[in-house]
Amino acid sequence: MPRGFLRRDNLTKDTLLRLTAMGVLIITAGISPFLLNRLAKEYFKDKIRKTIQARARKLRELEKHKLISFKELDNGSVRIELTHRGKNLVRLYNLENMKLQKPKRWDGQWRIIIYDIPTHQRKASNAFREKLKQLGLFSLQKSVWVSPYECLSEIEFLATVFDIDINRHICYFFAKNIPHEKEIREFFFL
pLDDT at 62: 78
Q: Name the range with the highest mean pLDDT among 1-5, 23-27, 32-36, 185-189.
A: 185-189
pLDDT at 81: 78
| Average pLDDT over all residues of the chain | 81
Can you give the length of the chain in residues? 190
SS3 114: strand
Going from N- to C-terminal start, the domains of the chain cover 14-59, 100-189
108-136: b (≥16 Cβ within 10 Å) or e: eebbbbebebeeebeebbebbbebbeebe
The separation between CA 23 and the C-alpha centre of its own chain, rounded to angstroms, equals 49
The predicted model gives 66-89 an average pLDDT of: 74
pLDDT at 92: 46
- The CA-atom distances, in angstroms, between 112 and each of 13, 117, 148, 182 are 80, 16, 9, 16
| Most distant CA atoms of the chain, gap in Å | 97
Is residue 24's pLDDT more than 60?
yes
Is residue 148's pLDDT more than 60?
yes
pLDDT at 98: 81
pLDDT at 126: 94
Taking the C-alpha atoms of residue 72 and residue 172, their distance in angstroms, rounded to an integer, is 35
Is residue 57's pLDDT more than 50?
yes
Residue 67: pLDDT band (50, 70, 90) is confident
Tell me the per-residue pLDDT of 95-108, one tens digit each, with 9 for 90 and over. Answer: 777 888 888 999 99
More confident residue, 1 or 40: 40
Q: Which long-range contacts (CB under 8 A, 24 or more apart) does 131-134 make?
A: 131/95, 131/98, 131/158, 132/158, 134/98
Percentage of residues in the chain with pLDDT exceeding 90?
37
Is residue 128's pLDDT more than 80?
yes
SS3 125: helix
With residue 155 as reference, give the H or E element that holds it.
Answer: helix 152-161
Region of 134 (left: φ > 0; alpha: ψ -120 to 50; beta: rest) is: alpha
Name the class of domain 100-189. alpha beta
Q: What is the DSSP string of 96-109?
A: GG--PPPPSS--SP
